Amino acid sequence: MNLRTMVKPLLVLLCLSPAMALAQSGDQTRWLDPADDAQNLPTDGSILFWSGDEQIAGFRNIPLLSPVRHVSRGDQVMPLPRAERDFSMLRYQVNGETFDLDDYMRHNHVGGVLVLKDGEILLERYGLGNDENTQWVSFSMTKSVVSLLTGAAIADGYIDSVNDPVTDYLPQLRGSSYDGVSIKHVLQMASGTDWNEDYADPTSDVATSPGDMLALMQFMGEKARVAEPGERFNYNTGETNLAGAIVRAAIGNNLAAYLTQKIWQPWGMESDATWISHGPYGGELGGCCLSPVLRDWGRLALLVMNGGVLHDGTRVVPEGWIAESTEPSPGSDNYGYLWWLNGDGTYRASGIFGQGIYLSPEQNLVIVVQGAWPQATGATFAMHRDSFFKAVEASLNDD
């Protein structure tokens, strides 16, 4: 199989709902020399089932496997001062057992972990053969970037309001169950449109939806309405790609260029990034697959913690957008505008296979993790991740 034909599986098998987590276990040290990546790249099959060395090589070499658009760094780099501290005494518990940082890196197959407190690097550590130059695929963490870009499009006047009808920007959906659905409903995954996200079912919507964006809109436009818009949360990969399409239609440009202009260059990211597209000339996936380096995810989180305001005081998003984005929605206490909410003032961007950003505004704390879980989701892996996040936060509170 030509590797370019893997785009379709990338479209439909990337954004598993955390509610679909399966109990997994995995406790092994993995490492692959980047010099050996070329001979270990996946040659067939879905990204969901890559394993071993091909998984590591694939996750850090997405541009060799799929069409991408490029996000470009600028001339100025935002400094991240170092204030490293010793985390060797950190401990966390899962199911009555105690673990340390080394255990977390090994058990959760961590490719990189970054801890920022007050904008300073307290911890930066890599695994799997990754380093500070590794561009690692983010999966559904990208959704939260689309949330930011939606806010940017509103601030720039390309979108009037989150209450605008979806069909104002995607007229292909007129006359479908998306009549009466707002951008806000889409951001909250609460359109009320029928969608089956069961990855164990080969006939589910997520398994059979087309990869081409125009065909996807037709596919989704034929779905029935099962709830009133805004009432019911339903994790919906296809709808997240619509969220990206709305922004593209509004700005009249691609998302990678807009991200470059609005955030990447003015905020001072240190490296370029790539973003998987719907084909050589297609738009980016709204729900997946931005691939930056670890520290640039940390910088992005700091922009969010700064309310979306750049160094010179320029607002990327409207005033109050971050707070609005991280408020519970009527359909789910655990979801905002493409952000997962923890119920305690902290929130997350999350992706399958162990990708995530944990943001604690009260503590001015950011934790970024990149991973290669052996399977897309896993209850045990998630428990280790969440317990590790809380243990890091607690250890800093004790200072």
Measured CA angle at 317 (ends 315, 319), to 5 deg: 75
Would you place residue 199 in the very low, low, confident or very high pLDDT band (cuts 50, 70, 90)?
A: low
> Which amino acid, residue 318?
P
Burial class (CB in 10 A: 0-12, 13-18, 19+), 46: middle
Which of 75, 73, 71, 76 is closest to 258 using CA atoms? Answer: 71
Residue 204 tokens read as 């589910």
Task: Count CB neighbours of 73 within 10 A.
Answer: 18
Would you place residue 19 in the very low, low, confident or very high pLDDT band (cuts 50, 70, 90)?
A: very low
Q: How many residues does the chain have?
A: 399
Residue 180 tokens read as 């009466």
Which residues have CB under 8 Å from 313's CB, separation 6+?
none
- Return the pLDDT at 346: 98
- Return the pLDDT at 1: 30
- Sheet containing 355-360: order of strands: 120-126, 110-117, 365-371, 355-360, 347-351, 340-341
- Between 399 and 290, the more confident residue is 290
Residues 105 and 78: their CA atoms lie apart, in Å, by 27
Predicted structure pTM score: 0.93
- The answer, yes or no, to whether residue 399 has pLDDT greater than 80, is no
Query: What sign does the dihedral 112-261-250-277 (CA atoms) show?
Result: negative
For domain 3-138+293-397, the question of CATH label 3.40.710 is answered with yes
- The answer, yes or no, to whether residue 306 has pLDDT greater than 60, is yes
Which of 65, 62, 54, 63 is closest to 2 using CA atoms? Answer: 65
pLDDT tens-digit series, residues 233-284:
998 888 888 999 999 999 999 999 999 999 999 999 999 999 999 877 778 9
